[in-house]
Structure 1
Amino acid sequence: MPAESTPDPAIPGETGLTNPSRRAKGRRRKPPTGGRRALRVTAWTAAGIVVIGGTGAGYVYFKLNDNLKTVDINQALGTDRPTKVDNGSENILVLGSDTRAGGNKKLGGGIDDGSARSDTAMIVHVYEGHKKASVVSVPRDTLVDRPVCTDTHGTKHPAAHGVMFNEAYSTGGAACTVKTVEALTGIRMDHYLEVDFSGFQKLIDELGGVQVTTTRNIHDPDSHLDLKSGTHTLDGQQALGLVRTRHGVGDGSDLGRIQLQQAFVKALVNQVKHIGLFTNPKKLYDLADTATKAVTTDSDLGSVNSLMSFADGLKGISSSNMNMVTMPVQYDSSNANRVVIEEAKAKLMWNALRNDRPIPASATKGTATGEAKGVVSAS
């Protein structure tokens, strides 16, 4: 079971228990460097990778099936959840976790204390017809009211007011995070996917790298990233550095890093669609093996057949038909290293998704951005 919530490593002594009703305007001051580095992984494409690999590797079905890790979120949360809207759409919560256990320790730094947090969270709404999707990034530094939740071990956790969003995962794992997202949005999450440090890096390497174009130099010793302006094919380590960098671009905020992640997701989707895997059986199997080891899913997706069927419904969505936004927030006036939800704008966003409608531009207009948009693009 995940450990108790810990302070934000970039701000020694901070707990995030500030008043979420207070907002700040203007640029955010840059947080201190050092401490535990946070993972920012773009996990939502993992399902697409699995279906590409799994389709051609049916002869090793049982091995791939044994690779999968699952969590029974439905049992943990019970019936006290938003009603499923039967309009042909699907909602998937995708998390990137920063566990320091096993092979992740050297990638994440810090002490292997068995703890983990959700340092990337994306709500993926797949519209009816499965040709378009909206992806909403939830900043980990958002101050929220976490509801009472029961984790997958049956332990009940009391509600908490004004805590960081990623504290939900530290407290009660996947089930508690899903419960928190559903409380924030009023939208039922149909599925759950999670990828960690080493899984992300291995996936990128198995794909042969991902090509991106940067419009300026990016240098960040903390994330071990040094890229000149131009086009690059990033290997796993470089890709991990890009989606983790906080101080190399923008205003040094988590929001700027989210903008880089969103650009990388589009590049990764493009890359997956243009790889000739079916002409290379070994590469096909290696990728399927890596992908199924890398992901944790909800129990409904807990077999290769189920995951393949689910991912088959996503593969028709091109990067040009993915609308990627950040949950509407502003910097907290009492702590510029935290953000608070713009409730009226967020309501517009959640209502649109609940009704399977495009997110209106007014839902994100005038919100905090991080000032890193356009630094990275798909090549």
Structure 2
Amino acid sequence: MSVALTFVLVATTLAAYAYYRSIEGSLRRLPFEVGPSRPPETGALNVLLVGSDSREGDNKQYGPKSQGLGERTDTIMLLHISPNRDKATMISFPRDSMVAIPECEGRNGATLPGGIRQINSAFNDGGINCTIRTLESLTNIKINHFVKVDFTGFKGIVDAIGGIEICLPKPVNDPKAKLVLPAGKHVVNGEQALGYVRTRYALGDGSDLSRIQRQQVFLTQVLAKVTDGGLLTDPVSLNGFLRSAAAAVTVDSELTLDRMLEIANSVKGLTAKELKGITVPVEPYPPDKNRVQFSQPAAKNFFESVRNDVEVTATPAPGKSAAPKIEHEQVRVQVLNGTGEQGKAVQVADELAAQGFAVIEVGNAPTTGTTAIRYAKKDAQDGPAYADAVATRLSKDKRTPVAGKVKPVNAQPYASKVAKLPDGPIIQLVIGTDWPGVRVQSAIPDSLKDKVVDANTNPCL
């Protein structure tokens, strides 16, 4: 939880105060060593966020008997920022999940055999790089960076931003989490905030899933305060936050200050409204009622949705205004199959129609290796914008629409699902043998929408 807070705040503030380069020297770094076999890039930004419960140094007050026993994690989150940097999804992995962990190098240098174990054991036994390998093997999502923070660092960050408002549905007296507060709303300092995100049995139903939901609500409250609470325009408060954050975290060696600035500039328009929290779908683990396992096919479908997620739109050149947004239902589409694979045009037409496009015809085209989005030369003024609406729905690299259509073979009418066919250019989608697929519309499937935590979620959990 605390690492999510750290990364989001660093990303939203460094862009405006690049002169804080001296702070970079405070950051602790670890090498990014996960091997050559990794998932492909999709244009999204994926940052692993891990909370460390190390009791060394200033953290010994949270369990002096655990000193010298290394570090564990109860918090594993993946911050997924869309390719267009306009949406963020915070994916939580329950610590009690039993998963397949690949063979890894252990903290002591010995080889850890692969097998079914609790997900946080990847970090406990193999460190951050084993955790990355495990998550990438489970999700097929490439992780670009990682951030790790400990208890003391979390407290310092919350104190630096002046505390966060929480809401308790009942009184809490949890000596283990060091949280004692009456019911109702409170602005909590770092120590109390740490207790709030750590307590498990004093709030909710006592499960790790309930605690995860509370952590996600806390993060949305943090982001709302940062973006709306004046931190970005207060140099004194910002300085205190940045120095606290830099001293609190350990990051990968590739997350340089220049890289942070690049990321911060790309996400500077994100607010709490664009952040969605979701927990990986799980179900009871039959051999042990105290553990869970990923629920299938829901988890598999969810990870696929994340990999293919959101619409990517071009950024207007300086001095030029953005073209008006073309909605899917405004675009008439002719789908032609140039792959030689029987039924491909109808399959793709169905997928586009499901996303609201007014598909009007399907047919064949001469075999081609390259998928293309085309518009008529006579539609040179409006055609590119309408074609671009189709191009942004294709997976992988965005394709540039081209002028000029090909002659269809055996074109047949398609029963459009749009109530009233629109005017405007007819866009031709020619499917090549390199067909990348159609992006899903959301990183969160409809089946999980009721599990989403966002700025509108009741904070009194």
The normalised TM-score by structure 1 is 0.79
Deviations 1:333-368 (A, max 9, x none): 3322211111311001100011113211325779xx
Pick one of 180, 191, 203 that aligns with 2:145.
191
CA distance in 2, matches of 1:163, 1:342: 16
CA distance in 1, matches of 2:203, 2:93: 19
1:279–1:323 distance in 2 versus 1, CA, 3 Å: closer
Q: Which residue of 1 aligns with 2:287?
A: 334
Q: CA deviation at 1:56?
A: 5.9
Pick one of 239, 245, 249 that aligns with 2:203.
249
Q: Secondary structure at the match of 2:65?
A: coil
1:127 aligns with 2:127: no
Q: Secondary structure at the match of 1:182?
A: helix
Contact 2:166 2:459 in 1 (8 A): no
Q: Which residue of 1 aligns with 2:445?
A: 360
CA distance in 1, matches of 2:249, 2:125: 20
CA distance in 1, matches of 2:450, 2:85: 27
1:105 aligns with 2:190: no
Contact 1:48 1:312 in 2 (8 A): no
Pick one of 347, 367, 374 that aligns with 2:300.
347
Contact 1:132 1:322 in 2 (8 A): yes
Q: CA deviation at 1:126?
A: 0.8
Question: Who wins on radius of gyration, i.e. which is larger?
Answer: 2
1:214–1:180 distance in 2 versus 1, CA, 3 Å: same
Deviations 1:107-135 (A, max 9, x none): 34532114101210111111122111111
1:167–1:216 distance in 2 versus 1, CA, 3 Å: same
- The higher-RCO structure (CA 8 Å, 6+ apart) is 1
| Corresponding letter in the other structure for 1:360 | P
Q: Which residue of 2 aligns with 1:83?
A: 40
Q: CA deviation at 1:283?
A: 2.4
Q: Secondary structure at the match of 1:290?
A: helix
Contact 1:53 1:287 in 2 (8 A): no
Q: Which residue of 1 aligns with 2:8?
A: 48
Q: CA deviation at 1:327?
A: 0.8
CA distance in 2, matches of 1:278, 1:136: 26
1:312 aligns with 2:272: no
Contact 1:169 1:177 in 2 (8 A): yes
Q: Secondary structure at the match of 1:293?
A: helix
Q: CA deviation at 1:304?
A: 2.3
Q: Secondary structure at the match of 1:219?
A: strand
Q: Which residue of 2 aligns with 1:72?
A: 31
Larger CA deviation: 202-211 vs 290-299: 290-299
Q: Secondary structure at the match of 1:77?
A: coil
Q: Secondary structure at the match of 1:205?
A: helix
Q: CA deviation at 1:58?
A: 4.7
Q: Secondary structure at the match of 2:250?
A: strand
CA distance in 1, matches of 2:274, 2:280: 19
Pick one of 183, 189, 199 that aligns with 1:229.
183
CA distance in 2, matches of 1:126, 1:279: 24
The percentage of aligned residue pairs carrying the same residue is 33
Q: CA deviation at 1:215?
A: 3.2
Q: Which residue of 2 aligns with 1:143?
A: 98
Deviations 1:235-287 (A, max 9, x none): 00110001001111222111111111011011111111133235543322221
Pick one of 72, 83, 103 that aligns with 1:117.
72
1:364–1:156 distance in 2 versus 1, CA, 3 Å: farther
Q: CA deviation at 1:212?
A: 2.1
1:279–1:374 distance in 2 versus 1, CA, 3 Å: closer
Q: CA deviation at 1:195?
A: 1.2
Q: Secondary structure at the match of 1:122?
A: strand
CA distance in 2, matches of 1:172, 1:131: 34
The normalised TM-score by structure 2 is 0.66
Deviations 1:27-60 (A, max 9, x none): xxxxxxxxxxxxxx33223123224554565555
Counterparts in 2 of 1:30-49, with a 5 A limit?
A: 41-49=1-9
Q: Secondary structure at the match of 2:262?
A: helix
Q: Which residue of 2 aligns with 1:31?
A: none
Contact 2:165 2:187 in 1 (8 A): yes
1:315–1:337 distance in 2 versus 1, CA, 3 Å: farther
| Corresponding letter in the other structure for 2:8 | G
Q: Which residue of 2 aligns with 1:4?
A: none
Contact 1:328 1:364 in 2 (8 A): no
| Corresponding letter in the other structure for 1:227 | L
1:354–1:206 distance in 2 versus 1, CA, 3 Å: same
Pick one of 42, 45, 51 that aligns with 1:96.
51
CA distance in 2, matches of 1:52, 1:124: 14
Q: Secondary structure at the match of 1:247?
A: coil
Larger CA deviation: 179-188 vs 50-59: 50-59
Q: Which residue of 2 aligns with 1:376?
A: 460
Q: Secondary structure at the match of 1:110?
A: helix
| Corresponding letter in the other structure for 2:290 | N
Q: Which residue of 2 aligns with 1:291?
A: 245
Structure 2 unmatched ranges of 5 or more: 310-441
Contact 2:149 2:250 in 1 (8 A): yes
CA distance in 2, matches of 1:363, 1:55: 34
Q: Which residue of 2 aligns with 1:10?
A: none
